[in-house]
Structure 1
Amino acid sequence: MAAPGARRLFYAALAATLILKLLFATFLPMTGDEAYFIVWGMHPAMGYYDHPPMVGWWLSALLPFGHAEWWLRMPVILLNTFIGWAVMRILRPHRGDLAYLTGTLYLIAPVNLYNVLITTDTPVILFIFLTGWAYYQALVSQAWRDYVLSGLAVGLGMLSKYFEGLIAIALGAHWLLLDRRRRSFLGLLLVAAIGAALFAQNIWWNYEHCWDNFLFNLVNRTHHGLRVDGPPVYLLTLLYLITPPILLGLYRVRGQIRARLREPLVGGFAVFAGVPLLLFGLLSFKNQIGLHWLLGFYPFVFVLYGALCEAKAQRMALRFMFWFSAAHVVLLGTLLALPTPALKHIAPKFYPIVVLGSHTAAVWKAAEPYAAGRHLATRGYATAGILEYHTQRHFAVFGTGSDHGREDDSLTDFRNWNGQNVLLISTNDLPATAYAPYFEKVRKVVVDVQGAPISLILGDGFKYAQYYAKILKPIRNSYYRFPHWLPVGQCPFTQRYFGTK
């Protein structure tokens, strides 16, 4: 393919995929996880329970200008468009027009088309990529400026999600295994110092807020014991994400990879991708590795592939990727076009939550007449986030909840509810008696929305003492138990309810 043709193909793919993602982002209802992070943006803070605060900060900046799904998803819509362009720019000086083919290949990969959800992964994917790109530039130029940029990206990534730490490990591994230049070592120290200085803010916030991030990520959600299904599932995830043609292409050039490891373009991106993916492989014996965990390191695989694979292999991969992605687009487009009641037969167990997410206005219209003079609540963070996003009214999480989505522990003070009335909106069919211990009087109203039964629990006279004994104490024992070696500055949750850190 001549250079002008490859360029035209790349820019056509850039425009077409951007339009397609905008359409998906416009018509896909806001998911529970996304709405939960939007609630972060509605309540700006220096940190949040589950993860560092970056996505909350981004959403706080976007919310004053609109609440539309496509607008709040704009960072992730632009993210992979930018990375696809950057992959081309990295390769262009070395591979000429083949760089455009690699960039196109990245742009049309399925996950880069349907991933239009704004989550904590969005900023960390960006900063992981910028970390690797800037450090690669530093390996080539040995300029302090590039090390500074890489350090800033590390720090901002660590304020996004802790997966950024894996690329930091990869930078150290690259020096240890392949580089060993004195200036590179000093540059690596500069990266670490800048990253640590930015990350210090998050450490201080955690010290003053129950070590929420650390307990969630390193203690409360950690699987104990070995998972025999973990490694096979992880390998299948890699096969799906990277795709067989790209894996085959990399396998065929394995000799070139070994021979050229000391070249920054080959060795750098091989380590930036390989070390984190290897660490995830080891972790898969303990935890299930989600596909989204891998997305920050995914672009580095394309850079390595584009650095070594020739036009014939790239054209074959492009043909496969086009049809593979087309199948995903058709499937997602069909699901979005289906009338909501049709989904009842596809996923009957989840149909009520689908209705609550896609017809929230109708759910709230049915519930609002009961809301006057009542605190609003749901049983989980996903439904609470969806309802708060659509109604602009705060919904508390009632009950013990799960190890995920515990930000409401800091937003709601149940002491203030004592003796007052509550409206709880639920997508499950628990009887009113399940809530009876916590109220003087309780009744249940079931409303039908698009064929889904939505439960409205009307609780009068909230019994704080009962809730304290049956709910708040188990929450403390499950989610706010600090290792003996961990110094605790403040813990608003335990101080509020138990008068102690």
Structure 2
Amino acid sequence: MRLSVSTISLSFLAVHIAIAASVPLFDDEAYYALWARDLALGYYDHPPVIAYMIRMGTGPFGETPLGIRLFPVIGFVASGYLVGDIARRMSCGSVGLPVLATTLYNLSLLVFALGSFATPDAPSALFWVATLWAAIRAVNTPPDTRSAMLWWICTGILIGLGCLSKFTNAFLALGLLAYLFATRKGRGYLLTRLPYMTVVAALLPLLPYLFWNLQHDWLGLERQSARLVASGYSIRHIGEYAALLLLAPTPLVTWSAFQALKAPPKESALLIWSSAPLVFYFAYHATHASVQANWIVPLQALFVIHAAFGLAQAQSPRPWIKATFATALLLSVGSVATAFNPVTPIGAADNPPNQTRGWSATQDAIAELLKETGARWIATTDYARTGSLALRFPHVPVWSVAELQRYGFRGNFPTELCTAPGLLVERVSWSETKSQNAPRLFGTVGATYPAIRTQGDATLMRYHLTPVCEVILPDLCPNLRRCRLRHHHDRPA
């Protein structure tokens, strides 16, 4: 059977759905799932599209790992399909190149690692690639036709949706603008109305989000724009960034992509210019802070499309293609299999794979203490615990009593919890023997009990479980009243 872009995409869809359904949620996913319970036009940490994608899956499948991850998985697979179609158009209808590009995209380290999980990178990558796909159609359609107008408007709408997914996609808009000014073909369009229609189309999806920011003192935009400010400069992260940029597509893919630049394919300039602002911004960011691996996911399309052409142009393409496939498969599948293996933790750090491990005993300890103390709700002090415990205890109210700016989407804090007995669950260090936060957050504080999340001999995280009552934060409970804690049995530490 001849492979096609569709069969490759469906194969990876099956793989990612199997992983999505079998691996427990990690902290960020649980936090985004909390967003999906209360849909809003904007959120403190990111724009809102990931919440809407999660809600589309939890509607029919519930707040299960598969339900939360289903549409982000589909988003990543769809972006791979569009990568293949871009390669087909750039190669004037070639059959092999699209399959090669789609396969390499799905096997790139970051796409394969993130493709099974619910993060804002899923819609960001989808709309980044979709924008490139529409832009290539736009610049190859005669400008005086109705089809051209529709493709340019479509490009704008996809830019806007990308920015509603992650602010990273704003750099794609800058890159396409650079393409219009820097290339002869692009400059020809500046004398038409098409680019200006694209700008208007891009702004339309953003209007509700801008309105939300206006209503919330520019909370989301201020949060993200803070990354643009540097307090000092250093070169220590530059090498990390360069290595990440070159190794994430897998080494032979990167090598083949650079080989293709000796005889660049049609519309190569559009792909390169569209990615250049993001590449240079991250280089600037690396002068004062580390560039996180998932940030460069949108750049994978640039590498794999050029790599497909580079491999096709090789003197002996077949062995090079096989070696590239084998290397990408070994690195990507091996990395995910190692990270999420069910037996051995990945060190003792608080990384996403470890966040999925060892919850059974900890969850039982929390449930038992809730019952013994008569606690009617769970209090938290960070977003990771808030999201994770909200999903693990769906019938118990879980509310954060810190970082309140994160939770405006949930509405007002329930007044009945102000004087209701609760259980404060906090992540703590080994040196802490009792809760440091409880006395400044609650008027009544009980004895602190430790809980340790482990797998095998590895300690993954230490928690304090503290019975509490009477929230004394005026932002949450302006009318303070006294309450009492129920006595509970002593336990050995």
> Does the alignment reach a TM-score above 0.5?
yes
Kept after mapping to 2: 8 A contact 1:30/1:357: no
Kept after mapping to 2: 8 A contact 1:127/1:154: yes
1:276 equivalent in structure 2: 278
Report the CA distance between 1:463 and its aligned residue.
3.1
Kept after mapping to 1: 8 A contact 2:28/2:119: yes
Report the CA distance between 1:45 and its aligned residue.
1.4
Kept after mapping to 2: 8 A contact 1:102/1:302: yes
Q: How does 1:234-253 map to 2 (within 5 A)?
A: 234-253=241-260
Q: Secondary structure at the match of 2:42?
A: coil
CA distance in structure 1 between the partners assigned to 2:291 and 2:318 by the alignment: 28
Residues 384, 336 of structure 1: alpha-carbon distance in 2 compared, 3 angstrom cutoff: same
Amino acid at match of 1:201: P
From 16, 35, 39, the counterpart of 1:40:
35
Report the CA distance between 1:234 and its aligned residue.
0.9
From 14, 17, 20, the counterpart of 1:19:
14
Amino acid at match of 2:199: A
Kept after mapping to 1: 8 A contact 2:435/2:466: no
Amino acid at match of 1:154: I
Report the CA distance between 1:212 and its aligned residue.
1.1
2:188 equivalent in structure 1: 181
Kept after mapping to 2: 8 A contact 1:124/1:161: yes
1:205 equivalent in structure 2: 212
Kept after mapping to 2: 8 A contact 1:245/1:317: no
2:464 equivalent in structure 1: 455
Percent identity between the two aligned chains? 17
2:449 equivalent in structure 1: 445
Report the CA distance between 1:180 and its aligned residue.
0.7
Report the CA distance between 1:238 and its aligned residue.
0.6
Q: Secondary structure at the match of 1:175?
A: helix
Residues 233, 9 of structure 1: alpha-carbon distance in 2 compared, 3 angstrom cutoff: same
CA distance in structure 2 between the partners assigned to 1:467 and 1:431 by the alignment: 27
Amino acid at match of 2:214: Y
Listed as ranges, the gaps of 5+ residues in structure 1 are: 470-501
From 421, 436, 441, the counterpart of 2:439:
436
Higher helix share: 1
TM-score, length basis structure 1: 0.80
2:389 equivalent in structure 1: 387
Report the CA distance between 1:352 and its aligned residue.
8.8
1:160 equivalent in structure 2: 165
Q: Secondary structure at the match of 1:255?
A: coil
Amino acid at match of 1:129: V
**Is 1:194 matched up with 2:197?**
no
**Is 1:78 matched up with 2:74?**
yes
Report the CA distance between 1:246 and its aligned residue.
2.6
- The answer to which of 425-434 and 119-128 deviates more is 425-434
1:433-475: CA deviations, max 9, x gaps? 5223433332112346657654311113333369999xxxxxx
Q: Secondary structure at the match of 1:170?
A: helix
CA distance in structure 2 between the partners assigned to 1:425 and 1:64 by the alignment: 29
Aligned Cα root-mean-square deviation (Å): 3.2
Residues 104, 182 of structure 1: alpha-carbon distance in 2 compared, 3 angstrom cutoff: closer
- The answer to which of 172-181 and 116-125 deviates more is 116-125
2:125 equivalent in structure 1: 125
- The answer to which of 387-396 and 377-386 deviates more is 387-396
From 85, 90, 103, the counterpart of 1:89:
85
Amino acid at match of 1:432: K
1:105-132: CA deviations, max 9, x gaps? 2222232222122112221211111111
Report the CA distance between 1:70 and its aligned residue.
1.8
Report the CA distance between 1:219 and its aligned residue.
2.5
2:104 equivalent in structure 1: 105
2:401 equivalent in structure 1: 398
1:488 equivalent in structure 2: none
Report the CA distance between 1:400 and its aligned residue.
5.0
Report the CA distance between 1:8 and its aligned residue.
2.3
Aligned length: 453
CA distance in structure 2 between the partners assigned to 1:373 and 1:412 by the alignment: 20
- The answer to which of 214-223 and 123-132 deviates more is 214-223
CA distance in structure 1 between the partners assigned to 2:228 and 2:374 by the alignment: 38
CA distance in structure 1 between the partners assigned to 2:323 and 2:421 by the alignment: 60
CA distance in structure 1 between the partners assigned to 2:276 and 2:321 by the alignment: 21
1:58-103: CA deviations, max 9, x gaps? 2223222122212221123223322222222222252342332222
CA distance in structure 2 between the partners assigned to 1:456 and 1:164 by the alignment: 41
Listed as ranges, the gaps of 5+ residues in structure 2 are: 479-493
Q: How does 1:54-65 map to 2 (within 5 A)?
A: 54-65=49-60
1:498 equivalent in structure 2: none
CA distance in structure 2 between the partners assigned to 1:173 and 1:358 by the alignment: 53
Kept after mapping to 1: 8 A contact 2:180/2:187: yes
Report the CA distance between 1:192 and its aligned residue.
0.7
Amino acid at match of 1:286: H
CA distance in structure 1 between the partners assigned to 2:162 and 2:105 by the alignment: 22
CA distance in structure 2 between the partners assigned to 1:292 and 1:448 by the alignment: 29
Q: Secondary structure at the match of 1:406?
A: helix
Amino acid at match of 2:70: M
TM-score, length basis structure 2: 0.81
CA distance in structure 1 between the partners assigned to 2:103 and 2:127 by the alignment: 21
2:46 equivalent in structure 1: 51
1:299-342: CA deviations, max 9, x gaps? 13322333454254575255234334324424533554434xx5
